Chains A and B, each alone.
Chain A
Amino acid sequence: MCLAIPALVTGLLPDGMARISLDGVVKTISVALVEDVRPGDYVIVHVGHALARIDPDEAERTLALLAEAGALGAAVAAAEARP
């Protein structure tokens, strides 16, 4: 039940609710816990509530770090494969 997923906010509704799209599936969730949610934001959804907004810049940075560590690993693997 702890599995939470990133979802795109597609529209705001009254009473702190919002419409989200999960890979095309539309759901209504509460966004009352996250300040200033706007359509176009990605939020982490857990049991019908948004818990946090995903920061697109930090997401890019994580991917860059992953690519860097991966490139290092790939280089090591290639070096080990060489006779």
Chain B
Amino acid sequence: MKYVDEYRDGALARSLSAAIAAEARPDRTYAFMEFCGGHTHAISRYGIEDLLPANVRMIHGPGCPVCVLPIGRIDDAIRLAMRPEVTLCTYGDLMRVPASRNGSLLKAKAAGADIRMVYSSLDAVRIAEANPDRQVVFFAIGFETTTPPTAIALKAAEAKGLANFTIFCNHVLTPVAMRAILETPAAAGEPPIAVEGFVGPAHVSTIIGTEPYRIFAQHYGKPVVIAGFEPLDVMQAILMLIRQVNEGRSEVENQYIRAVTTPGNLAAQRLTEDIFELRDAFEWRGLGIMPKSALKLRDAYASFDAEVRFAVETQPAADNPACECGAILRGWKKPADCRLFGTTCTPETPMGACMVSSEGACAAHWTYGRFRAHEKTSTAPVRRAS
């Protein structure tokens, strides 16, 4: 496939690996966070950690929208779906996320709730159009990448005059979460994570551009290299980060210049701005309640807001106490450190959200990494499924 295969070349990956080993100074260590689940997935799938020298460590960040959605919001979606008049449209990844009281959307569907999996936000609009007697709710989640598609769906529903289409909005913002990672001290007894630089999001950046990351380079002194999702993209970005650290620079650099421009996608930004505004605060799994970290529909679009139409009141809900997703999302722990990993918790029977989405750290580690002989920074044994 064009623009894919050439960025997966194995021989070139080995040469890049040698280049990284040559430039990484042996007298120090490097710790970089890939914010995005897409990068976590690529790093696990292509075994990129095995291609890095032992003193270069990658920390998996919280950039998986399924993983950071708090349980209370899944509970809300289940309650919405259980209403007899409602058809809930959701992206497939959310179906198996564990909710309170051992529930999930999948189980709610089995129990008779009208839940449809959609590929595109516009599929939800089509379902609303075809079923005028149903209240169709689109369960909108995701970072800046997925927000403009939700906006397009709202505009399409508005143009068609659909009165039975609403959005349950859970869109969240990347830069706020990156800041939280740098600002939150480690929990008592946990080692502090020393993120020295970020592999910046690929597709989020196609929308928001490179400017929002400047604060990390300038204020926090952390280099950011925006990178594509293919393995060679990630490796090149790591090389660029090592160079910045070695040269004492902290800048925003763009490895993914084939798709990311400095201003980003202005049309998408305008549309998002028109329809959404900041929430005062929103809860993220693992990161807690963060001010101004998520979006809601503006009052002008209240008639499309499921939270308004169905008077949604989110109840706080606790995660499974044995699940370490929270610590993993912060980079404090690795999947193999969780005692449920690979035994009680597998992609077939996920106990936490990190095991559900293919971009979740636990799922990626289960699928591609669990049999790797060495674990660079974790001393916990890698558990195998029994």
Contacts and interface: CB of A to CB of B under 8 A. Distances in A.
Interface of A: 1-6, 8, 16, 22-23, 29-30, 32-35, 42, 44, 46-49, 51-56, 58-59, 61-63, 65-67, 69-74, 76-77
DSSP class of B's interface residues: helix, strand, loop or mixed?
Answer: helix
A48 B258 contact: no
Contacts of A69: 15-16, 19, 236, 239
Interface string B272-298: 000000000000000000000000000
B271 A73 contact: no
B65 A2 contact: yes
Given A30-B149, A48-B149, A51-B207, A73 B18 contact: yes
A67 B255 contact: no
A33 B265 CA distance: 8
B359 A2 contact: yes
Interface in B134-188: 142-143, 145-146, 148-149, 152
Interface string B240-260: 000000000000000111111
16 contacts: A2-B36, A5-B4, A22-B1, A23-B1, A30-B122, A33-B149, A47-B146, A47-B149, A49-B148, A51-B148, A54-B258, A62-B233, A63-B6, A69-B19, A69-B236, A76-B21
Contacts of A66: 7, 12, 16, 232, 236
Contacts of B358: 3
A10 to B, nearest CB: 13
Contacts, number: 159
Given A33-B152, A52-B207, 15 more contacts: A1-B92, A1-B142, A1-B357, A2-B36, A2-B63, A2-B203, A6-B3, A35-B267, A46-B203, A54-B259, A66-B7, A66-B232, A69-B15, A73-B17, A74-B15
B370 to A, nearest CB: 21
A55 to B, nearest CB: 5
B16 A70 contact: yes
Contacts of A5: 1, 4
A3 B22 CA distance: 31
Nearest to A60: B258
Contact of A52 (B93, B152, B206, B233): B206
A2 B142 contact: yes
